[in-house]
Structure 1
Amino acid sequence: MKRILFSQWHLMRYFRLALALFLFFQAYETKQWFFIVFGIFFLFQAIFNMGCGPNGCQVNYKNQKDEQ
């Protein structure tokens, strides 16, 4: 767990963290508390390094020709 939290920080993780903090701030300033849900989502992605990888969010489909 410690390795996940403190290693492999890159630009996208910093961006997600900054976006989460910005959404928390906006929720507090505007009193529109649904922004917190989105902030928690991006904070979770930043902390645990989850989300789409470098290949994007594509699904690998297998067709019948590949199986033969």
Structure 2
Amino acid sequence: MLDLILKDWHFMRWLRLGIGLYFGYVAISGGESVLGFIAAFFLIQAVFNTGCGPAGCAPRSYDVRHNYKEEPDFEIVKPK
């Protein structure tokens, strides 16, 4: 768990942290509870490296490469 929080800090993670901290400051200084919930949303995304978009719930932190050992079968199709 600590490894998830401390590693792989990329641009979007820093951006979410900045947005969350800014909204948190505005929520505390202005007494806005809705902005407090939005700040918590962004801060949780930044800390746990999750996203809210399609297929962004847990972005991959590694590169997946397929190593196919067999050659694919091809069939030549000739027009009539």
Normalised by the shorter chain, which TM-score bucket? 0.7 to 0.9
Aligned residue pairs: how many? Answer: 55
Separation (CA, whole Å) in 2 of partners of 1:6 and 1:41? 19
By percentage of residues, which structure has more helix?
Answer: 1
Deviations 1:20-52 (A, max 9, x none): 100110011211121110011001100000015
Show the counterpart of 1:32: 32
Using CA pairs below 8 Å that are at least 6 residues apart, which structure has the higher relative contact order?
1
Q: Spell out structure 1 runs of 4+ moving beyond 6 A.
A: none
Q: Which runs of 5+ in 1 are unaligned?
A: 59-68
Question: SS state of the match for residue 33, structure 2?
Answer: coil
Larger Rg: 2
Q: Which runs of 5+ in 2 are unaligned?
A: 56-80
Separation (CA, whole Å) in 2 of partners of 1:8 and 1:38? 23
Deviation at 1:57, TM superposition (A): 1.6
Separation (CA, whole Å) in 1 of partners of 2:28 and 2:2? 30
Separation (CA, whole Å) in 1 of partners of 2:18 and 2:27? 14
Task: State the Cα RMSD in Å.
Answer: 1.4
